[in-house]
């Protein structure tokens, strides 16, 4: 057995863990990142094949927090931020056999076929409706109460499919969409709240929070590589089997196996960024009753099918992509147009598509074989994007624990995390089990936790 000592052990080399290690090192801390997989980056991975550059996991992020803006500043020239083409602001929704653009202004909102005439009139009264009093109100109830059924069906439901692959009858805005929830609770209205927040003074960093869609030049893998380079490969252990944390008299011992050798790392601080389903084996000193509120967390199963066309003859792909409301009963959740959003993702004259299937409402689709999924997606593309061509590239990627669902049980989960951390000083439970699911959320969490630990 080999033994060593560091200031922090971070378990999990996804975006959260790498961000945290990056900032802890900037504070002069000795950090070791332990990853069971063969590479860093978690679900982020970029492939380049036959002229196509595509993501096997998340395709994009949103510049939605000052911490994310600062993060790219702090990375310096290690990777180049790439924001989406202006055309990508156009978002499509499938209704009655055709794509329709989500309204982007007053005129388009008046004439869109997505929403009923009654609900278009109803939205005029949104600023005057009383805020809800149930903190556990589900998203579908909140939207119907304030905006109407058609806004739920053709705006919020597809949005939830695109972000959470979830079910609006189960997601609770207080936990899943806290900014939306707080607009109503603080300002009494989504519209009034958005107007007032837009007028609030902002710091120079906050002014750069543009909410633009972003990636990194050449793909998100370059962001991972930049973090690994900054942290130092010698500080990241890959292929670490049977990782487990034990309490000791002066902190924790983190043990793992590598190449038949058992290693033990002594540290006063352990940060877990793994999924809730991995916590019992990672933290055996915690009881089932301690972890039950965490391990009951539901995850959406998502399959991503990437289709590349060297020559494209379908509809003009001049937008971000299209989302499919669940009431339309198609087999896909939505399709992104990466070759329209970013540069150099497909050969000139071609197209790159990322099609998402599965989710909370469509788990049976996820369970199809690869061949069945490929056939299904090609049929969906042919019908909805009007092409008779077969793809030159077709790849399937599966994620059985793709997206954590922030449902009613979230409050008990958050309280359990606070209790565990207070009872076991030096232990931090992080990752998508709390603080949101997006790339911006992951970076912000890593930044905030690292800063808080350093300050302490």
Q: What is the pLDDT of residues 229-265, one digit of tens each?
A: 999 999 999 999 999 999 999 999 999 999 889 999 9
Residue 160: pLDDT band (50, 70, 90) is very high
| Strand, helix or coil for residue 87 | helix
Domain 115-200 class in CATH: mainly alpha
Strand partners, 34: 11, 237
- pLDDT score of 325 more than 50: yes
Say whether pLDDT at 31 is over 50: yes
Q: pLDDT class for 86, splitting at 50, 70, 90?
A: confident
Residues 164, 166, 168: CA angle, nearest 5 degrees:
115
> Comparing 61 with 456, which gets the higher pLDDT?
61
Residue 454, pLDDT above cutoff 60: no
Burial of 437 from C-beta contacts in 10 A (0-12 / 13-18 / 19+):
buried
- Domain ranges across the chain: 2-41+219-292+407-455, 115-200, 299-404
State mean pLDDT over 137-160: 97
CA distances (Å), origin 112, targets 101, 180, 383 = 8, 23, 22
Is it true that 2-41+219-292+407-455 and 115-200 share their CATH fold? no
**Does the pLDDT at position 453 exceed 90?**
no
**337-363 as b/e, with b when 16 or more CB fall inside 10 Å?**
bbbbbbeebbbeebbbbbbbbbbbbbe
pLDDT category at 89 given cuts 50, 70, 90 is confident
Confidence class for position 127, pLDDT limits 50, 70, 90: very high
Predicted local distance difference test score (pLDDT) of residue 456:
33
**Each residue of 76-92: b (16+ CB within 10 Å) or e?**
eebbebbebbeebebbb
Q: How far apart are CA 75 and CA 230, in angstroms?
A: 8
The dotted CATH code for 2-41+219-292+407-455 is 3.50.50.60
330, two tokens? 């198609």
Residues 169, 140 contacting (CB under 8 angstroms): yes
* CB hemisphere CA count around 274 (13 angstroms): 23
In a 3-state reduction of DSSP, which class is residue 97?
coil
| Two structure tokens written together for 46 | 């970029």
Q: How confident is the model at residue 2 (pLDDT cuts 50, 70, 90)?
A: low
**Residue whose token pair is 């924790």:** 252
Long-range pairs for 204-207 at CB < 8 Å and ≥24 separation? 205/66, 205/69, 205/70, 206/66
Instruction: Report whether pLDDT(314) > 70.
Output: yes
Q: Which of 26, 27, 24 is nearest to 8 (CA)?
A: 24
Beta strands 427-429 and 269-272 are: parallel
Kindly report the backbone phi and psi dihedral angles of residue 234, in degrees, each rounded to the nearest multiple of 5, phi listed first.
-70, -15
pLDDT of 88 strictly over 90: no
Neighbours of 423 (CB within 10 A): 10
pLDDT for 344-371, tens place per residue? 999 999 999 999 999 999 999 999 999 9
Closest CA to 410 of 101, 200, 198, 173: 173
DSSP bridge pairs for 393:
308
Residues 6+ apart with CB under 8 A from 329: none
Mean pLDDT of 278-300: 98
CA distance 334 to 325: 9
The mean pLDDT of the chain is 95
pLDDT above 60 (res 176): yes
Q: What is the mean pLDDT of residues 106-116?
A: 89
How do residues 400-422 score in pLDDT, each as one tens digit?
Answer: 999 999 999 999 999 999 999 99
Mean local confidence (pLDDT), 168-190: 97
The mean per-residue pLDDT over the stretch 265-277 comes to 98
Radius of gyration over alpha carbons of the chain, in Å?
A: 23
pLDDT of residue 1: 55
Record: fold of 299-404: Polyamine Oxidase; Chain A, domain 2 (3.90.660)
Residue with tokens 């050969």: 347
- DSSP E strands in 310-370: the ranges are 321-323, 334-336, 351-358
CA-closest candidate to residue 270, choices 455, 456, 426: 426
Look at residue 269 and give its three-state secondary structure.
strand
State the Cα–Cα distance between residues 341 and 331, nearest whole angstrom: 24
The pLDDT of 153-161, averaged and rounded, is 97
In the structure, what pLDDT confidence band is assigned to residue 450 with cuts at 50, 70 and 90? Answer: very high
For 13-78, strand residue ranges (E) read 31-34, 46-49, 52-55, 61-62
Which two structure tokens, joined as six digits, stand for 276?
């809730």
**88 vs 233 pLDDT, higher one:** 233
Band of the pLDDT at 105, cuts 50, 70, 90?
confident
């Amino acid at each position: 057995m080999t033994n060593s000592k560091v200031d922090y052990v971070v378990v999990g080399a996804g975006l959260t863990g790498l961000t945290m290690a990056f900032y802890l090192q900037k504070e002069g801390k000795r950090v070791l990142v332990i990853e069971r997989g063969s590479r860093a980056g978690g679900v982020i991975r970029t492939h380049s094949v036959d002229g196509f550059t595509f993501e096997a996991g998340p395709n994009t992020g949103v510049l939605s927090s000052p911490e994310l803006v600062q993060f790219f500043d702090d990375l310096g020239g290690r990777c180049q931020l790439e924001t989406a083409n202006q055309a990508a602001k156009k978002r499509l929704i499938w209704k009655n056999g055709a794509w329709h653009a989500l309204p982007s202004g007053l005129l388009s909102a008046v004439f869109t076929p997505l929403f009923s005439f009654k609900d278009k009139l109803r939205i005029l009264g949104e600023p005057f409706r009383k805020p809800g009093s149930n903190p556990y109100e589900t998203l579908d109830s909140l939207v119907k109460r304030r905006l109407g059924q058609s806004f739920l069906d053709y705006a919020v439901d597809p949005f939830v499919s695109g972000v959470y692959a979830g079910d609006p009858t189960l997601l609770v805005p207080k936990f899943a969409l806290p900014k939306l929830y707080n607009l109503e609770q603080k300002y009494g209205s989504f519209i009034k709240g958005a107007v007032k927040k837009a007028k609030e003074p902002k710091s120079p960093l906050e002014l750069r929070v543009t909410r633009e869609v972003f990636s990194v030049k050449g793909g998100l893998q370059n962001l991972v590589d930049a973090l690994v380079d900054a942290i130092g490969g010698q500080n990241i252990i890959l292929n670490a089997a049977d990782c487990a944390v034990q309490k000791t008299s002066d902190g924790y011992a983190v043990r793992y196996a590598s190449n038949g050798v058992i290693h033990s790392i002594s540290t006063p601080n352990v940060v877990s960024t793994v999924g809730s389903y991995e916590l019992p084996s990672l933290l055996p000193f915690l009881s089932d009753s301690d972890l039950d509120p965490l391990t009951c967390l539901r995850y959406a199963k998502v399959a991503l099918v990437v289709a590349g066309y060297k020559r494209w003859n379908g509809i003009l792909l001049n937008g971000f992509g299209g989302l499919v409301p669940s009431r339309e009963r198609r087999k896909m959740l939505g399709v992104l147009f990466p070759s329209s959003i970013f540069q150099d993702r497909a050969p000139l004259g071609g197209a790159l598509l990322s099609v998402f299937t599965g989710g909370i409402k469509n788990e049976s689709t996820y369970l199809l074989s690869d061949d069945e999924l490929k056939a299904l997606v090609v049929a969906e593309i042919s019908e909805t994007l009007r092409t008779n061509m077969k793809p030159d590239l077709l790849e399937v990627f599966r994620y059985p624990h793709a997206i954590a669902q922030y449902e009613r049980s979230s409050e008990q989960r958050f309280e359990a995390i606070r209790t565990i951390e207070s009872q076991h000083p030096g232990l931090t439970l992080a990752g998508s089990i709390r603080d949101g699911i997006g790339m911006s959320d992951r970076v912000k969490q890593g930044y905030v936790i690292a800063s808080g630990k350093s300050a302490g």
